[in-house]
Structure 1
Amino acid sequence: MAFHMEEVIEMLERTPKVLEQYLVGLSDDWLKADEGEGTWNPSQVIGHLIYGEKYNWIPRLELILSDKKDKRFLVFDRFSHLQLYKEYSISEMISEFGSLRTDSIEKMKQLIKHESQLELSGIHPVYGEVKARELISTWMVHDLTHISQITRVMAKRYEMAVGPWKSYLGILKNNTQK
């Protein structure tokens, strides 16, 4: 599939709204459910998305598009959100995430003036050279991954309750990830 900025923006814009509709107003039993030790609950996933919005996607895009010679990305701490946002309500987190996301999309639109910029690259600490279009695509798919993760975690709360239908419910197959 070819990269289409308009499609990516369509999805990036929707993520905060999807999460708001999905999670705000749910009991803590839903929001604090996880898949066991070392896994994240829905509230923690939202904290991760906030942290990424602040320190990952746009800062890396800005570096790729900059005139700097050294285009090495800083290492992204995938776990710092576990302490930073643990006292926030889901409404507060999703509100902050929505505001940050709006700002990020506007910033991306300001930064990307020409399609040729999408071929510029930076250096990821693990993957090496990555292009701007790959970073932006990953940003969008990252959202979808975490929406899927939240859905899976919530479904697993009722894994035993579904009884014999479990074999028909693909979401209940063992597929844990952070």
Structure 2
Amino acid sequence: MPELDWANALDRLFDNPDDADVRPWAAARIEAGACTPGQRRAYELLTAGESVIDLLARTPHIAQQAVESAPARLLTIAPGDGEWDATQVIHHLADNEAVNAVRIRSILTEDTPEIFGYDSDPWARFFRLESVEDALERFVVSRRNTVALVKSLTPRDLDRKGVLSYRGAESLRVLLAVLAGHDRDHLDQLRATLDAAA
């Protein structure tokens, strides 16, 4: 058996969520903090048997409901110094979707391409250029396009790989699972931020 890393561990969990080699390996690394939040969440959703595509499709609507049901004054209250308020979380989701749209298309059209990595914190300087409503609409529309694209793919397409500077080579289906995990983390952050503001 090849030595496990997060990319092949998550790939194996798509095929067998109960993989007896992968689950203890992943649990140990999660306990040690040797993973990104998206990888940890991807592990959780795959081992729970959740559908990555369904999670990706639902996220914009959950974010939209959270924003639309909150009083406008709460959207710009951060829970603490250096933490994002609700509008910044939405802007980040929209920006991250734009980045992943390029990543997905690069993987589908190039042979094992280098995939664009970025530090999201400096991007926060651009958040106020766009209203939260516009950022939310951008996220909803972009994600709808991502989901339509992913639904059109074959298993062979999903096995194609890209190389991300901080995670290494991984298949498209793993990238999508990590994206779904990233969504879940930020939806939790959005709820907690609004609760704290209230």
- TM-score of the two chains, using structure 2 as the length reference: 0.68
Which structure's residues are more often helix, by fraction? 2
Runs of 5+ consecutive residues of structure 2 not aligned to the other structure: 1-12, 16-45
Structure 2 counterpart of 1:154: 194
| Pairing 1:2–2:42 present | no
- Give the stretch that moved more between structures: 147-156 or 20-29: 20-29
2:167 and 2:129 mapped to 1: Cα distance?
34
For residue 59 of structure 1, report the CA deviation from its aligned partner.
1.4
The worse-fitting range, judged by mean Cα deviation, of 92-101 and 76-85 is 76-85
| 1:61 lines up with 2:90 in the alignment | no
Taking every aligned residue pair, what percent have the same amino acid on both sides?
Answer: 23
CA distance in 1, matches of 2:176, 2:82: 28
Count of equivalent residues: 154
Q: Is the 8 A contact 1:35 1:156 kept in 2?
A: yes
| 1:133 to partner: Cα distance | 1.2
* Counterpart-to-counterpart distance in 1, 2:172 and 2:156: 10
Map of 1:101 onto structure 2: 143
Say which of 52, 60, 75 aligns to 1:16.
60
TM-score by length of 1: 0.74
| Counterpart in the other structure of 1:121 | 161
Q: 1:176 aligns to what?
A: none
- Aligned partner of 2:132: which letter? I
Aligned counterparts of 1:156 and 1:75: Cα–Cα separation in 2: 31
**SS of 1:130's equivalent?**
strand
After superposition, the CA RMSD in angstroms is: 2.4
CA-CA distance at 1:87 after TM superposition:
4.0
Match of 2:42 in 1: none
Moved over 3 A (4+): none
5+ long unaligned stretches in structure 1: 159-178
Write the distance in 2 (CA, Å) between the matches of 1:8 and 1:20: 19
Q: Contact 2:78–2:193 (CA<8 Å) still a contact in 1?
A: yes
